[in-house]
Amino acid sequence: MNNLSNKHYRLRNEAVLACKIIVDQKLDSGPFGNVSVRIPHTNEFWVNPQGITFDQLTPDDMLRVDTSGKILEGRHTMHPGEFIHREIYRLRDDVNAIVHTHSENTSAHSLLGCEIEPYTQLGASIYGDQGLYLGFTGPVRTSSEGTAIAEALGKKSIVIAKNHGLFAAAPTIQAALWDMIVADWASKIHITALQLGLKQADKLSPEFMQKSRVEVRDKQHQFMWQSYLKKIKAADVKEFEFS
């Protein structure tokens, strides 16, 4: 039926584990949100389907699709948010994983229509690495809007879709998940700072911004992946290991 190796199914299982971590961190929002991983060096990727929430999702539920929108493997219906991922993979060869949620903090922050400010090292680590998509017209259902979101991402790691949520795109699922979590925390700090009457964060020098990026993001995402895996139910992890 296909020529995928165990390694490719392991990637699929990691995408499901990322969904479980998102649930554990209370960053999911019912039927909304998508997590996907590219099958390396191809135009194919695994993505969650429509009609199954992250908490219920199992590896067998995942769809393998290509960037033309064809379902290659899986028994469920395509999620309506899938094509945004398709457009990002099409535009960015270096992206192998995308995490999209409507987490409370990132969605609330998106209303501001601006970057997440560097009030602490969390915001500093992603400052200057966020694109903005301001063309909200309700649920994204056309490929042109998907393309516009991918173009707003540009060469960056995060795109904030105003009135909607946030997309994190990275070379690995571990890095994309961690970026999404860091962005959620930093969004909350930004909103709190505004409530305290602060106008803008003091900007660090480019050198210190880069230091935050390395220390907070690059050096932590693998460690935090392992930490989160330990935290979610051991039974789930065992079930999703592919041998």
What residues make contact with Zn ion under the rule CB under 5 A?
Answer: 165
Distance, in Å, from the CA atom of 33 to the CA atom of 149, rounded to the nearest integer, reads 15
CA angle 80/180/86 to nearest 5° reads 35
What 3-state class would DSSP assign to 151? Answer: helix
CB of 28 to Zn ion, least distance (A): 12
CB of 112 to Zn ion, least distance (A): 17
Give me the helices (H) in the chain, please.
Answer: 6-24, 82-91, 104-110, 121-126, 143-153, 173-195, 206-212, 221-231, 234-240
Residue 114: phi and psi, rounded to 5, are -145, 170
Which residue number, 59 or 81, has a Cβ lying nearer to Zn ion? 81
CB of 82 to Zn ion, least distance (A): 11
Q: What tokens were used for 38?
A: 């590219």
Which residue number, 59 or 165, has a Cβ lying nearer to Zn ion? 165
Nearest residue to Zn ion by CB is 165
CB of 204 to Zn ion, least distance (A): 31
Which residue number, 177 or 216, has a Cβ lying nearer to Zn ion? 177
CB of 194 to Zn ion, least distance (A): 24
List, as one string, the DSSP characters of 35-90.
EEEEPTTSSEEEE--TT--TTT--GGG-EEEETTS-EEE-SSPPPTTHHHHHHHHH
Q: What tokens were used for 200?
A: 């803008």
Which residue number, 20 or 102, has a Cβ lying nearer to Zn ion? 102
CB of 3 to Zn ion, least distance (A): 32
CB of 81 to Zn ion, least distance (A): 5
Spatial strand order in the sheet of 44-47: 71-73, 63-66, 44-47, 34-38, 97-101, 165-170, 158-161, 130-133
Distance, in Å, from the CA atom of 134 to the CA atom of 167, rounded to the nearest integer, reads 14
Which residue number, 55 or 239, has a Cβ lying nearer to Zn ion? 55
Which residue number, 148 or 209, has a Cβ lying nearer to Zn ion? 148
Which residue number, 138 or 206, has a Cβ lying nearer to Zn ion? 138
